[in-house]
Amino acid sequence: MMRRAIITAALIVCAQACAAQQPLRDDNDAATRAADITRTYGLSEDRTECLLFDTADKGEYFVVRVRENHTQACGGAAGVSPTLFFLKIRKRDGYTLTTAYDSEQYLPLRTSAKN
């Protein structure tokens, strides 16, 4: 019985450690994470290569502005790059808030597109 409890506890700790996001070190990490989040959570219908990720270091977190990248391959008016939404990504663990859902408030990422 005790052995089973120890094994269960070890598995829980391992699963939590594996699931934890790696800390963000710099602007490149923030932009890469923003691209992954945008794709994974379906925050934009545009292909990743048709988006721009502008980062700003705000101390404990990064703010990433996600914009359309108007090129010949992506379409859109040349010289125009409208902002779609913002992501606020905590450096220490990658916890993310976004304005993608209502364009005003930073809200937690939703686990499904129907929320």
Angle value at C-alpha 111, between 110 and 115, nearest 5 degrees: 55
Report in angstroms the alpha-carbon separations of 52 from 12, 14, 67. Answer: 38, 35, 5
Strand order, beta sheet including 83-90: 51-57, 61-68, 83-90, 96-98, 107-108
End-to-end Cα spacing for the chain: 41
* pTM of the entire predicted model: 0.77
Give the pLDDT score at 7.
55
Structure tokens given for 66: 């996600």
Please write the tens of the pLDDT for every residue from 43-64: 999 999 999 999 999 999 999 9
In angstroms, rounded to a whole number, what is the distance separating the alpha carbons of residues 101 and 42?
11
The whole-number pLDDT of residue 2 equals 54
pLDDT at 18 over 60: no
Residue-wise pLDDT for 65-106, tens only, equals: 999 999 888 988 888 899 999 999 999 999 999 999 999 999
H helices within the chain, ranges in order? 2-19, 27-40
Quick check: 24 pLDDT over 80? yes
Nearest by Cα to 64 from 84, 81, 87, 44: 87
